[in-house]
Structures are given as structure tokens and as C-alpha cells.
């Protein structure tokens, strides 16, 4: 089960990795970010693939081309007629139709020039030994595709201004044959994915993200942060137990902290690097992030019922033996405080029965501090620091071990003069 809509991957995170030049490669980046890997082995495979691009970064750092050229070539190849076309018919058509000849000539020149530049400047120069064998073979297939065009021959003809009708006929026959054999469709798929991986690796290098290490017995993040913040505060988190309770006053940054941790976990499971200096975690088969749960008019669920359903889904997975990572922001805030305190206590105690999972929950229920599991350290507590100076809060956004009893509601209420405004 993957429940990560509250991380806003497409709206906020995709742009950190998307440096593509066309919508097709951009969609591949979206797919990479949308589909986590099914196993630790697959994650490590993708990590190695991206590391291959990073190791070839000096060669690929100037990778670019005119977007218009790509669009022209893509439309041209996608609309090639693969019926019974002979070289003789093509030759006659080009000889006696100026319009047909010039239209095809322009597109063929664009195709050869672009393919020649991509192949010579990038594909033929990168070290394929730095990639996993499965992807290295994909790169070799792209090279074979380009080799089948005899690009050097036609590039030389352009340079010498000797690109003739016979060259056009030869190229059209090559294209027709490759299209009929399915090579063109396979090439586009490989190329767009190549550009997506190159783009993602560019994002990783640009933002100085780090690849996580997977370890079943450890969860730790060093200097992690939310990457969309301008000047983020970097924090450390070590999960000493499977249940972490986060406290802190309103506006202290609890929700952002939960998103930052969750984002590290999710990106790690897509095989990407994460916004941290160092990250170690187990492989989670279930990832559920519930931070912005709202009432659903369409489904008829209230906020509280949405929390209940989300928790039930996570528990169903955990009871089936899945290793779960689940985050709940102010769990059960959708009901009255008496109910919330009672069922929160039951929930926290119950979650300690799943030692292979990790649950991070933020709360405003200060009474939970009296739980035996918290007093004895069975539930790990941490808080986001905030100091008061002359009743003015100073938010440090720093994560610390322990518990925060600071309450800002009344202070902010009075600071804004609402007491006087409500006084008769």
C-alpha cells in the first residue's frame, strides 16, 4: 500500500528532478517519481543506474537540443507510411514534386543532424561499464539504432552540400524498414527514458542529494530537510523504537518535519537520492503519509472517519506481516478531546506490537505524557523547539529529544488583542 498524496510529489517535488526538453521525457520523470520499487534489489538497481549517469556527468552536463527539432522529428517518424513503398516510387515522387521533396528534405536533415549529434557527443562517449548490465544493453541498442542510419555518410553529404535525392530515398527506405520492424517505437521509449534518467541524475547532483543505505535494523536520517524550502533547517532523527511521538506548539513546523522525513523515505523507495547528508533505513513494503486529511464531500467521510480508515488500512498491512512506514499528523484531532485521548492511548500502545514497522505521530495531547510506555521510553518522544521571550515565540525548527509542553494558543490569542476586541 502506498499512500503519499500529501507529499505533493507532482506539484512540488517533480520540478527538482525535471530538466527534460519534451513532454514525453517529462512523463517518464513523472512515472519514475510515481512508482516506488517493489523490492530492495530493484531499488539498488536503480541507484546504480543513476550513479552511472552521475559518473558520466562531465560528458552529459551540456546535453541539450532544440525542442522544436525533436517535435518535428517525432511527428515525422510517427506518421511514416509503412505500406508497400518502393525506392523507385520515392525517387519519382521527389523528382517531380518540389513540395514533397523540400518537406521531406528538411525533416531528413533535422533527423540526421540531431541523431548524429546525440550519438557522437553523448552516447558514443559515455562509459557503459558504469551502468548495470541490463541498462548498459539498452544503451547499446540505442547505438545500434543510430548505426543503422549510416549517419556519418549523410552528415558528410550535408557538409559538402551534396545531399541528393538518392540520399533521401535511402534514408526513407531505412526509416520505413525500422518503423515496420518496431525499431522506431522501441527507440523512442529508450530515448525518452534515457533523458528522464539523465534529468533525474542532474537534479540529484544539482541539489546534492544522497543515496540512502538499506539496513533492516536501523532508521536514521542525518541533516535531513524539506527541499522546497528556501533556507531549511537541517535535523537529525534516529528511530530508537518503532513508535515516535512528536510534540511542539502550533506553527513550530511539525507538519513540515513529518513531510521531510516521509519524503526521504518515499524518494528512497523510488531508487532516488534523498535530501539529507546521510540516510539509513529498512525497506518498507507499505508507506502511508496522512498529514492533510480533510473531510470528503464526495465519499461522505468526515475528517475523523478519514483518519480511522487510514489507520485501519495501515494496521491491516502491519497485521499481515508487512513492514510499514506510517505518519499521522495530529491523529484523531477530528473528534472531541476525551475520545481523542482515549483512542490515541489505545493506538499508541497497540502500535508498539509491530516491531518491524515505524510509526511517527504528532500530537497536541499533552496528557499522553503520562503513558507508561512514554515514561519507560518504549515510545520515543521528540519535539520541535520553540522559545518564548517576552511572550513572543521564537521558532528554531530544530528537532530535539524529549517532550514540549509549550502552548501558544492563548499567548497568540492575547497578543493579537482578541481579548480586548471581544470584551464588552
CATH of the domain at 14: 1.10.1420
Instruction: Identify whether residues 83 and 164 lie together within a single domain.
Output: yes
Whether 90 shows a pLDDT value over 90: the answer reads no
Q: What is the 3-state secondary structure (H, E, C) of the chain?
A: CEECHHHCHHHHHHHHCCCCCCHHHHHHHHHHHHCCCCCHHHHHHHHHHHHHHHHCHHHHCCCCCCHHHHHHHHHHHHCCCCCCCCHHHHHHHHHHCHHHHHHHHHHHHHHHHHHHHHHHHHHCCCCHHHCCHHHHHHHHHHHHHHHCCCHHHHHHHHHCCCCCHHHHHHHHHHHHHHHHCCHHHHHHHHHHHHHHHHHHHHHHHHHCCECCEECCCCCEEEEECCCCCCCCCCEEEECCCCEEEEECCCCCCHHHHHHHHHHHHHHHHCCCCECCCEEEECCCCEEEEECCCCCECCCCECHHHHHHHHHHHHHHHHHCCCCEEEEECCCCCCCCHHHHHHHHHHHHHHHCCCCCCEEEEECCCHHHHHCHHHHCCCCEEEEEEEEEECCEEEEEEEEEECCCCCCCHHHHHHHCCHHHHHCC
pLDDT of residue 357: 97
Residue 123 in grid coordinates: 552516447
Instruction: Identify whether residues 243 and 192 lie together within a single domain.
Output: no
pLDDT of residue 297: 44
Instruction: Identify whether residues 358 and 404 lie together within a single domain.
Output: yes
Instruction: Identify whether residues 262 and 308 lie together within a single domain.
Output: yes
Specify which residues 389 forms β-bridges with. Answer: 392
Residue 135 in grid coordinates: 541498462
Whether 159 shows a pLDDT value over 90: the answer reads no
Domain count, the chain: 2
Domain end marker among 173, 207, 241: 207
Instruction: Identify whether residues 110 and 200 lie together within a single domain.
Output: yes
CATH of the domain at 404: 3.40.50.300
Instruction: Identify whether residues 200 and 223 lie together within a single domain.
Output: no
In Å, what is the CA distance from 254 to each residue of 83, 249, 399, 400?
A: 63, 8, 9, 12
Instruction: Identify whether residues 185 and 159 lie together within a single domain.
Output: yes
Instruction: Identify whether residues 55 and 177 lie together within a single domain.
Output: yes
The gap between the terminal CA atoms of the chain, to the nearest Å, is 55
Domain end marker among 157, 180, 207: 207
pLDDT of residue 86: 80
pLDDT of residue 295: 47
Segment 369-395 mean pLDDT: 88
Which residue range(s) make up the domain with 324?
213-422
Lowest mean pLDDT among 99-103, 139-143, 267-271, 353-357: 99-103
CA–CA separation, 365 and 338 (whole Å):
10
Query: Do 360 and 330 contact (CB within 8 A), yes or no?
Result: no
CA–CA separation, 400 and 74 (whole Å):
54
pLDDT of residue 55: 97
Instruction: Identify whether residues 325 and 286 lie together within a single domain.
Output: yes
Residue 293 in grid coordinates: 486529511
Instruction: Identify whether residues 125 and 250 lie together within a single domain.
Output: no
Segment 106-114 mean pLDDT: 91
What's the pTM?
Answer: 0.91
Instruction: Identify whether residues 131 and 223 lie together within a single domain.
Output: no
CA–CA separation, 230 and 236 (whole Å):
19
Instruction: Identify whether residues 174 and 226 lie together within a single domain.
Output: no
pLDDT of residue 82: 63
Closest CA to 135 of 265, 271, 3, 246: 271
Residue 379 in grid coordinates: 515510545
Residue 348 in grid coordinates: 499508541
Query: Do 264 and 279 contact (CB within 8 A), yes or no?
Result: yes
Domain end marker among 172, 207, 242: 207
Segment 347-358 mean pLDDT: 96
Whether 300 shows a pLDDT value over 60: the answer reads no
The label of the residue with cell 480586548 reads: 420
Amino acid at each position: 500500500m502506498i499512500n503519499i498524496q500529501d507529499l505533493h510529489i507532482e506539484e512540488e517535488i517533480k520540478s527538482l528532478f525535471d530538466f527534460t526538453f519534451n513532454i514525453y521525457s517529462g512523463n517518464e520523470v513523472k512515472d519514475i517519481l510515481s512508482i516506488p520499487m517493489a523490492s530492495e534489489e530493484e531499488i539498488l538497481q536503480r541507484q546504480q543506474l543513476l550513479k552511472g549517469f552521475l559518473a558520466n556527468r562531465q560528458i552529459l552536463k551540456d546535453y541539450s537540443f532544440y525542442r522544436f527539432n525533436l517535435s518535428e522529428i517525432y511527428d515525422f517518424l510517427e506518421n511514416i507510411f509503412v505500406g508497400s513503398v518502393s525506392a523507385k516510387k520515392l525517387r519519382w515522387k521527389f523528382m517531380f514534386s518540389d513540395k514533397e521533396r523540400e518537406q521531406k528534405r528538411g525533416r531528413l536533415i533535422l533527423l540526421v543532424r540531431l541523431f548524429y549529434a546525440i550519438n557522437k557527443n553523448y552516447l558514443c562517449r559515455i562509459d557503459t561499464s558504469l551502468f548495470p548490465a541490463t541498462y548498459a544493453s539498452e544503451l547499446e541498442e540505442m547505438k545500434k539504432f543510430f548505426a543503422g542510419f549510416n549517419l556519418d555518410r549523410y552528415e558528410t553529404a550535408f557538409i559538402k552540400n551534396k545531399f541528393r535525392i538518392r540520399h533521401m530515398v535511402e534514408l526513407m527506405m531505412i526509416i520505413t524498414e525500422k518503423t515496420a520492424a518496431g525499431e522506431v517505437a522501441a527507440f523512442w521509449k529508450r530515448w525518452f527514458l534515457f533523458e528522464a534518467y539523465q534529468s533525474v541524475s542532474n537534479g540529484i547532483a544539482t541539489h546534492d542529494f544522497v543515496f540512502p543505505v538499506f539496513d533492516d535494523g536501523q532508521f536514521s536520517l542525518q541533516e535531513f530537510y524539506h527541499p522546497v524550502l528556501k533556507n531549511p533547517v537541517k535535523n537529525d532523527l534516529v528511530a530508537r523504537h518503532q513508535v515516535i511521538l512528536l510534540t511542539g506548539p502550533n506553527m513550530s513546523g511539525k507538519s513540515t518535519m513529518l513531510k521531510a522525513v516521509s519524503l526521504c523515505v518515499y524518494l528512497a523507495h523510488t531508487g532516488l537520492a534523498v535530501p539529507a547528508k546521510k540516510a539509513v533505513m529498512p525497506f518498507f513494503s507499505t508507506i502511508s503519509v496522512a498529514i492533510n486529511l480533510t473531510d470528503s464531500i464526495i465519499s461522505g467521510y468526515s475528517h475523523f472517519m478519514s483518519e480511522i480508515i487510514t489507520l485501519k488500512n495501515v494496521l491491516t498491512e502491519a497485521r499481515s506481516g508487512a513492514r510499514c512506514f506510517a505518519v499521522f499528523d495530529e491523529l484523531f484531532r477530528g473528534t472531541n478531546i476525551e475520545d481523542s485521548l482515549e483512542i490515541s492511548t489505545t493506538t499508541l500502545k497497540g502500535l508498539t506490537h509491530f516491531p518491524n514497522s515505524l510509526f511517527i505521530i504528532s500530537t497536541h495531547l499533552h496528557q499522553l505524557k503520562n503513558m507508561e510506555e512514554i515514561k519507560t521510553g518504549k515510545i520515543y518522544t521528540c519535539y520541535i523547539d520553540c522559545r518564548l521571550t517576552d511572550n513572543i515565540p521564537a521558532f528554531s525548527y530544530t528537532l530535539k529529544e524529549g517532550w514540549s509542553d509549550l502552548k501558544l494558543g492563548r499567548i497568540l490569542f492575547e497578543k493579537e488583542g482578541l481579548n480586548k476586541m471581544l470584551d464588552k
